[in-house]
């Protein structure tokens, strides 16, 4: 299950992780934890009327999540009354005691992208914001109370204001919102990021420039994070990767300019699970 600010997506998988069915509905993001979980439980019931058939429910949730009991510790302003919700216990109670495990959504995304040989992998999600996750020595890194892997709030790439109130962070350049904002500042035209991408493909130089910056800064941030943690691979997902062809070249160029000490650049790959990556990854929390 993927509980995001705009939408809750439930994907039913078999124990091998193969998708059997899916359902989604708008999240009750501003109506508090109980309403959010009522909606989520109703979606599960619509797919699996017989709870006995369920091994468990894995949840990927936006915000900082305590992985021990699935409590939402911190959220942004896209939720109201979600922080403090003990998701594992409260969702399980709505589903006749089916086991529930909850992770931060980008952590869940990263779990779903691991291949059987991956021992170390960095995950980056480019959506409304920029999220990160770290898989090191064969396990997720959780860090302390503010969460590990917040690559979106690293760097000083320029003067752009970040959503966190500080200046120049990666998120201020590489999120969907910031791509749209930077294009509007350059041209006076207020367009969503996907339309800016289409303009870039049509040769609009300002549109091309904002994607060029996003790709380059993303590459620099990945190179720093990977070098610090000794991670030679990264996977990138999220809605902005719909414009991967605009991001990939400057991203790979930046990585080639800042290789690991071994001399090899960090290997970057695109998410294989697409828009269902968080839900598919969350299923691995309870598989087997």
**Residue 164 beta carbon to Zn ion: minimum distance, rounded to whole angstroms:** 3
Q: Closest CB to Zn ion among 174 and 255?
A: 174
As a residue count, the chain comes to 288
Stretch 123-182 residues interacting with Zn ion (CB under 5 A): 153, 162, 164, 169
Closest separation between CB of residue 263 and Zn ion, Å?
A: 32
Minimum CB–partner distance for residue 163 and Zn ion (Å):
6
CA geometry: angle 186, 188, 192, nearest 5 deg: 90
**Measured from the CB of residue 152, what is the shortest distance to Zn ion in angstroms?**
6
Q: Which is nearer to Zn ion, 94 or 169 (CB)?
A: 169
For 172, 211, 262, the CA distances from 128, given in Å and listed in that order, are 11, 15, 34
Per the DSSP assignment, residues forming a β-bridge with 140 are 135
61-83 CB burial, b ≥16 within 10 A, e <16:
bbbbbbeeebbbeebeebbebbe
Check binding of 198 to Zn ion (CB under 5 A).
no
Q: How far is the CB of 167 from Zn ion (least distance, A)?
A: 8
Size of site (CB under 5 A) for Zn ion:
4
In order, the DSSP letters of 42-83 are HHHHHH-S-GGG---EEEEESSEEETTTTEEEE--TT-SS-T
Which residues of this protein are in contact with Zn ion, per CB under 5 A?
153, 162, 164, 169
């Amino acid at each position: 299950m993927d509980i995001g600010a705009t939408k809750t997506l439930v994907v039913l998988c078999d124990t091998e992780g193969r998708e059997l069915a899916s359902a989604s509905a708008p999240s009750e993001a501003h109506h508090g934890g109980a309403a959010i979980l009522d909606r989520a439980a109703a979606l599960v019931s619509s797919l699996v009327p017989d709870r006995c058939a369920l091994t468990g429910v894995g949840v990927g949730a936006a915000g900082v999540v305590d992985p021990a009991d699935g409590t939402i510790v911190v959220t942004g302003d896209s939720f109201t009354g979600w922080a403090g919700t003990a998701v594992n216990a409260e969702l399980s109670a709505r589903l006749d005691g089916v086991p529930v495990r909850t992770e931060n959504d980008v952590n869940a995304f990263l779990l779903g992208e691991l291949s059987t040989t991956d021992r170390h992998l960095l995950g980056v999600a480019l959506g409304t914001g920029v999220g990160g996750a770290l898989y090191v020595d064969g396990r997720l890194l959780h860090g302390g109370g503010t969460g590990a892997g917040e690559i979106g709030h690293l760097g000083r790439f320029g003067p752009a204001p970040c959503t966190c109130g500080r200046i120049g962070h990666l998120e201020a350049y590489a999120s969907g919102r910031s791509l749209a904002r930077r294009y509007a500042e350059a041209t006076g035209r207020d367009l969503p990021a996907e339309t800016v991408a289409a303009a870039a493909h049509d040769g609009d130089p300002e549109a091309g420039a904002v994607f060029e910056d996003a790709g380059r800064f993303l590459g620099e941030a990945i190179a720093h994070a990977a070098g610090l943690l000794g991670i030679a691979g990264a996977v990138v997902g999220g809605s902005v990767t719909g414009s991967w062809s605009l991001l990939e070249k400057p991203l790979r160029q930046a990585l080639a300019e800042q290789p690991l000490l071994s001399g090899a650049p960090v290997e970057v790959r695109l998410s294989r699970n697409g828009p269902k990556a968080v839900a598919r990854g969350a299923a691995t929390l309870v598989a087997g």
